[in-house]
Structure 1
Amino acid sequence: MTLPLSRVLSDEGFRIFFPLAALQAALWPLLWVGLWSFDLPFARELPPGVWHATEMIFGAWGAALIGFLTTAVPEWTNSPRLRGRPLWWLAGLWGAARLAGLTGADALVLPAALADLAWLGFLLAYLARVSVERRTTRVTAFLGWVAALTLAAGLARLAMLIGDGAAAAGWLRIAGLLFLGLLGLALARVTVPVTNVVLDPSERTSPFRPHPGRMNLAPGLVALAVAGEVAGVSPAVGGFLWIAAGAGFMDRMAEGFVGPEAFRAEILVLMAAAGFAGAGLLALGAARLGAPWGEAAPLHLALMGGLGLGVLAVLAIAGRFHTGQGLGFTPLTRAAFLMAGASVLLRSLPEMGLLPRPPGPPHLLAALLWAGGFLAWLADYWPALSDPATLNDAPERLARREGEAAASAGIPDMAHR
């Protein structure tokens, strides 16, 4: 079957936005560290670090969020998926804002702000419409978190517009922590089906059933800690709140211990995402209570490690499921996880005095490993993402699914006669 690449990529949100997330995550930090030495060519009034945080949160993680929600929500709610032109409009809005972040030009803050708020507003409207039309509450939690993220984005961009770098950095920190709440929700949704497939590849049973009261424990505690942050609680109170949120993610990590199958890469990477998020928040809370390190390293441990490994896990797991491949990572994807994890440790632990600083320019080795991890994923998955035979309605895939269903029912496979 021959189809234009644009038609293939716009069949589902993950086909466009997962590669964009990988490219953004790989290249923007590498350019910032390796080429521009923590500066940006046209940054004047705003600190380059503000642009860097904006691009990681609303660039790389934003693209992953768009791809995840536009792919998963139709499955959760049995609603038509977004295809074609709406996805390209979303990609155009997202990409327009990223061009501003690549240069750091002050004159581009307003158009970048409008573009980011436009795609966030589109996601809000999409989630609200699906909820109303399908009369479901399955996406209500995501609707609330995306609304909070949109508010934080607007306040951060407003601070950037008036040249208040400190306020912008504060709201970007809030936005990053809100993304951790979204990570907790996503892990709760992804971990259960993945673990059940690992434990029973036939998918006839569901041996893994987490306690309902603990599924949303981590995002709930993050919401409480973010509320305390916005309310301006004392450093000590904030420290204990973040320690509690970190413990919630550690509880999420502990759910991965399901026996020998816990050593499967599909389970380990989800545990690692929760573990990095939990460790980072525990260290952030400890810093507020007087630990001998600043807050930057714990935030990187949580936002770069927890979100980074979480995004990479979703890219890999959803990328295989939605191209008809099933679970089972290749050696290249496993190497991608290892490179990303090593990068997080090299970026965070030396600043906390827990690891010697690597040789070479500051953070260059970490940036290279980070870029290598996401580019390795892209190289491994691009052939399937761009292949018309992996589309949901491709004749080859439909025939294969019908054959599998017939075989499981004991009926001869007519598709191959």
Structure 2
Amino acid sequence: MADLLQIQEPGAAQMPGPQWKAFLELGFRPLYLAGCFWAAVSVALWVFAPGLLRGQLAGVVWHAHEMLWGFIATIAVGFLLTAGANWTGINPLTGKALGVLGASWVVARVAYLVPGNTAFGVAVASELLFFTCAAVALGRAIVGARSQRNYGVPVLVLGLGVANALFLWSAWQGDPVRLMQHFNTGLLCMAVIALLVARRVIPFFAMRAVPGLAIPMHTRSGHWQLAAAGLAIGGGLVGWAQASALFLGVAGVIALVQLSAWKPAAVRRVPLLWILYVGYAALAAGLLVAAAQLSGAVLRAAWPAHVIGVAGFSVLIIGMVTRTALGHLGRPLRTDRLMVCCYGLVIAAAALRLLALLPTELAWSALHASAGSWVLAFALYLWRFFPMLIRPRIDAAAAPIPKPAKIKVRQHPTP
């Protein structure tokens, strides 16, 4: 068991030094670091130093925006830019172009904290540039490779950007009703991306890690699930709450059926896998909670967003940013104690955050404990992975990554 909790690293003499070229090689490197850094900083600001939030976005609006588009969507874009290279054989963004994408993200995060209309305009423009460039880069790679099964991916990324623009416009206009509608649209666009990615990679990862394990990919049910989620988004946009609730419920039930077929008991001793299973289960539960709320159940408005976002997306994210980073860096696919600690801290943060939504005397203490656990989890991730992500792969000399759209990239062991 001890061997499962160790990660064998090369000796100090074999460790290559930091390189800008390596850092800007694939999208996961700068965007995983940026997203996880902002996960820790934004929650620390929101809970422990709200007085520093002096930008045009009000406190809770800033928090909602930054968690969905500043953190969760950023990690998703980093993953998709990297996975897109494997799906198509074409690296969507690398080098200076990837650096410009990262710079636009940084400008947006800083500008949202600065008072004044000019800073807000700069933030909005920078963020829209981020999502547009990411969608276009993915689209060029996917269409160029004629990867028809992935044609919807850049559309979903662009949908995230459009929902973000509408959210920001509603915030500027001071329209809280439309603001929440656009937030929910962005949340569900992100849910579709998460469902699509998780259904592809979780069975793949599990069968590679557990000898003899055979589990179905659920391609057909996945198509029904994505269709149901898409119809739920459409129902929400036109105001058909009951129809949206029905389709969300269908998507959530399908996710639970898929999860049970993936034989969760077989992965209970593999942290890189069970963390993904836990996140997928929470995402399924979040879709059902959202369906219940739309059906008329008396729930606080914050429940669906926090079950889907904190318990679902964030638990999936901490698993994905470790598993995929190790794979693409040529590292052994094993966790160490610190990584498992990160998993436990994010799960604890999610549980405490949901506890804080209950009308009890523990709510305030639970909120602060959740924030502390959350910040510590992502700080530890950065401490562990930052040195790896700014250096070349261990086998970089044998497997260089070419420039985008000219030469096929080396196929890495993760999808």
Q: TM class, shorter-chain normalised?
A: 0.7 to 0.9
Normalized against structure 1, the TM-score is what? 0.85
Pairing partner for 2:144 from 133, 139, 143: 133
Counterparts of 1:279-298 in structure 2, within 5 Å, are 279-298=285-304
1:8 aligns with 2:15: no
Separation in structure 2 between the aligned mates of residue 338 and residue 187 of structure 1, nearest angstrom? 20
Greater CA deviation, 172-181 or 257-266?
Answer: 257-266
2:397 paired residue number: 394
Q: Is the contact between residue 42 and residue 106 of structure 1 (CA under 8 Å) also seen in structure 2?
A: no
What is aligned with 1:18? 32
Aligned residues: 387
Mapped to 1, the partners of 2:239 and 2:368 lie a distance apart of: 35
The match for 1:351 among 348, 357, 360 is 357
Q: Tell whether the 8 Å contact from 1:77 to 1:138 is kept in structure 2 after alignment.
A: no
Give the CA deviation at 1:256: 3.1
Contact 2:232 2:243 in 1 (8 A): no
Q: Are the structure 2 counterparts of residues 242 and 395 from structure 1 closer, same or farther at C-alpha, using a change threshold of 3 Å?
A: closer
Which of 53, 77, 84 does residue 41 from structure 1 map onto?
A: 53
Shift of 1:103: 4.5
Give the aligned residue type for 2:90.
Answer: S
Q: Which residue of 1 aligns with 2:404?
A: none
Whole-angstrom CA distance in 1 between matches of 2:127 and 2:108: 6
Native 8 Å contact 2:244 2:291 kept in 1 = yes
Distance in 2 separating the partners of 1:357 and 1:78: 55
User: Please, which moves more after superposition, 51-60 or 262-271?
Assistant: 262-271
TM-superposed deviation, 1:210: 2.0
Matching of residue 330 in structure 1 with residue 336 in structure 2: yes
User: For residue 163 of structure 1, what is the aligned residue in structure 2?
Assistant: 174
Match of 2:222 in 1: 215
State the match for 1:384 in structure 2: 388
CA separation of 1:265 and 1:218: change in aligned 2, threshold 3 A = farther
Q: Helix, strand or coil for the counterpart of 1:110?
A: helix
Summarize the Cα distance change of 1:379–1:358 in structure 2 as closer, same or farther, 3 Å threshold.
Answer: farther
Counterpart-to-counterpart distance in 2, 1:180 and 1:147: 14
SS at the partner of 1:138?
helix
Query: What root-mean-square deviation, in Å, do the aligned CA atoms of Structure 1 and Structure 2 show?
Result: 2.6
Give SS of 2:335's match. Answer: coil
Cα deviation 1:47-101 (Å, max 9, x = unaligned): 3211111111111123212211221111111124532101110001111111133
Q: Where does residue 320 of structure 1 map in the other structure?
A: 326
Amino acid corresponding to residue 28 of structure 1 in structure 2: S
Summarize the alignment of residues 115-154 of structure 1 with structure 2, pairs less than 5 Å apart.
115-154=126-165
Per-residue deviation, residues 215-269 of structure 1 (Å, max 9, x unmatched) = 34443322121111111014x4443333223223323432331553344212211
Percent identical:
22
- Which residues in structure 2 correspond to 1:11-410 (within 5 Å)? 11-36=25-50, 40-43=52-55, 46-80=57-91, 82-103=93-114, 105-200=116-211, 207-234=214-241, 236-257=242-263, 259-352=265-358, 358=362, 361=365, 363-388=367-392, 390=393, 393-395=396-398
> Contact 1:184/1:219 (CA < 8 Å) preserved in 2?
yes
Partner of 1:401: none
- Work out the CA distance in 1 between the residues paired with 2:284 and 2:214: 26
State the distance in 2 between where 1:113 and 1:207 align: 46
Q: Report if aligned partners of 1:346, 1:358 keep a CA contact under 8 Å in 2.
A: no
Distance 1:335 1:105, change over 3 A: farther
**5+ long unaligned stretches in structure 2:** 1-14, 402-415
Distance in 1 (alpha carbons) for counterparts of 2:55 and 2:32: 28
Of structures 1 and 2, the larger Rg is shown by: 1
Distance 1:75 1:327, change over 3 A: same
Q: Distance in 1 between matches of 2:107 and 2:397?
A: 32
Cα shift at 1:315 = 0.4
Tell me, in whole angstroms, the C-alpha distance in 2 between the residues paired with 1:124 and 1:147.
6
State which drifts further: 78-87 or 27-36: 78-87
- Structure with higher RCO (Cα < 8 A, 6+ apart): 2
Q: CA–CA distance in 1 between the matches of 2:115 and 2:287?
A: 29
Query: Tell me, what secondary structure is at the counterpart of 2:308?
Result: helix
Which amino acid is the alignment partner of residue 151 of structure 2?
T
TM-aligned CA distance change 1:13 to 1:357, over 3 Å: farther
In 2: Cα distance, 1:15 partner to 1:113 partner: 24
Q: CA deviation at 1:193?
A: 2.0
| AA matched with 2:328 | H
SS in 2 for 1:175: helix
Using the size of structure 2 for normalisation, the TM-score is 0.85
The residue that corresponds to 1:405 in the other structure is none
Structure 1 residues without counterparts, runs of 5 or longer: 399-417
Contact 2:39–2:67 (Cα < 8 Å) also in 1? yes
SS in 2 for 1:127: helix
1:366 is displaced (CA, Å) by 0.7
- Note the C-alpha offset of 1:340: 0.7
Instruction: For 1:346 and 1:362, locate their aligned partners in 2 and report how far apart those are by CA, in whole Å.
Output: 5
CA contact (8 A) 1:269 1:310 kept: yes
Alpha-carbon distance in 2 for matches of 1:394, 1:144: 36
Contact map agreement 2:105 2:130 (CA 8 A) in 1 = yes
**Does the 8 Å contact 1:243/1:281 carry over to 2?**
yes
| Code of the aligned partner of 2:233 | V
